[in-house]
Amino acid sequence: MLPQNTIQEQMMVNMNKENKRIFYQPDTKDEYLDEIAEALLNGSEQQQPQYNSSKGIDKGDYIFMPSHNLLVAKKRSHLNKNWYEAHKALHNEGARMLTLIEFVDFLNLLRNGDDEFKRIYNEIGEVRRESWKIEWLDVDFKVIKGILHINYDHRFVNGILTPKNSEPLEVCLIQDKTPGISIGDWLSNPIRQGLPRANIQDGSLYYLYPRSDNNSVARFDAGSGRAYLDCYWNQQDSYASLGVRASRENME
């Protein structure tokens, strides 16, 4: 395994940051990062809201994922919302986004399931010419004390979207592949945090690796002749084809 400082040096790139900013920042980027980093690294004990709302929903609209005890929506919702707005809309309903590793496990469940599951799998990843289907994932990348972190499983705490998990990014593929990586190899052998391994096989799935710009989030795209796992996307973007897949804790 490479030393952490070596990994981070490889991830640092020269980038044009014009028109990019961070959501939820107080006055400056440094203040934002200091506040979030201190809360995360010191193990803030702020009370987390509960998202236990599987009761009263039509479970026919969901697929149960036993490995995470989650009900996952069969269809995307909340189209044309940016990453923050999608989080807020889901949380107002008692739902949340899928993290990257949950999305990987969901795709594996679908591709190894019955005909309905395989149909949904194909809808998510099918390369089509006429339109795109894009969905946000609950993954955010931030540099904390000089180390690139992956933040996930966000909750609103005192009105601030806050990750329950923030960890140094483990060794993974840190170069763009356009094309591409093997989707089968990625789904069968991701790193613990859900990203493709550094030695992943080549394939047709386009991949954009996480940047150290403090503004990148993840999403999965399919359409216009290609599919993407994109870990370098601006959280402010929104399109009519961009939505989110709700997940809910299974309380029964």
Q: pTM for this one?
A: 0.81
- What is the average pLDDT across 151-160? 93
Q: What is the pLDDT of residue 36?
A: 53
- What is the average pLDDT across 6-18? 36
- What is the average pLDDT across 123-148? 89
Q: 48 pLDDT band (50/70/90 cuts)?
A: very low
Burial of 123 (0-12, 13-18, 19+ CB in 10 A): middle
Is the pLDDT confidence value at 228 over 60? yes
Is the pLDDT confidence value at 229 over 80? yes
Is the pLDDT confidence value at 32 over 70? no
Is the pLDDT confidence value at 11 over 70? no
Between 157 and 42, the more confident residue is: 157
Between 19 and 11, the more confident residue is: 11
The position carrying tokens 């540099």 is 143
Q: 47 pLDDT band (50/70/90 cuts)?
A: very low
- What is the average pLDDT across 156-173? 95
CA angle centred on 29, ends 150 and 32, rounded to 5°: 65
Taking the alpha carbons at both ends of the chain, their separation in whole angstroms is 41
- What is the average pLDDT across 217-236? 92
Domain map (residue ranges) of the chain: 30-43+50-249
62-109 pLDDT, tens per residue? Answer: 999 999 999 999 999 999 999 999 999 999 999 999 999 999 999 999
172-219 pLDDT, tens per residue? Answer: 999 999 999 999 999 999 999 999 999 999 999 999 999 999 999 999
Distance between CA atoms of 243 and 238, rounded to whole angstroms?
A: 9
Q: What is the mean pLDDT of the chain?
A: 83
SS3 track for the chain: CCCHHHHHHHHCCCCCCCCCCCCCCCCCHHHHHHHHHHHHHCCCCCCCCCCCCCCCCCHHHEEEECCCCEEEECCCECCCCCHHHHHHHHHHCCCECCCHHHHHHHHHHHHCCCHHHHHHHHHHHCCCCCCCEEEEEEEEEEEECCEEEEEEEEEEECCEEEEEEEEECCCCCCCCEEEEECHHHHHHCCCCCCCCCCCCCECCEEEECCCCCCCEEEEEEEECCEEEEEEEEECCCCCCCEEECCEEECCC
- What is the average pLDDT across 15-30? 34
Is the pLDDT confidence value at 224 over 90? no
Q: What is the pLDDT of residue 223?
A: 86
57-71 pLDDT, tens per residue? Answer: 899 999 999 999 999
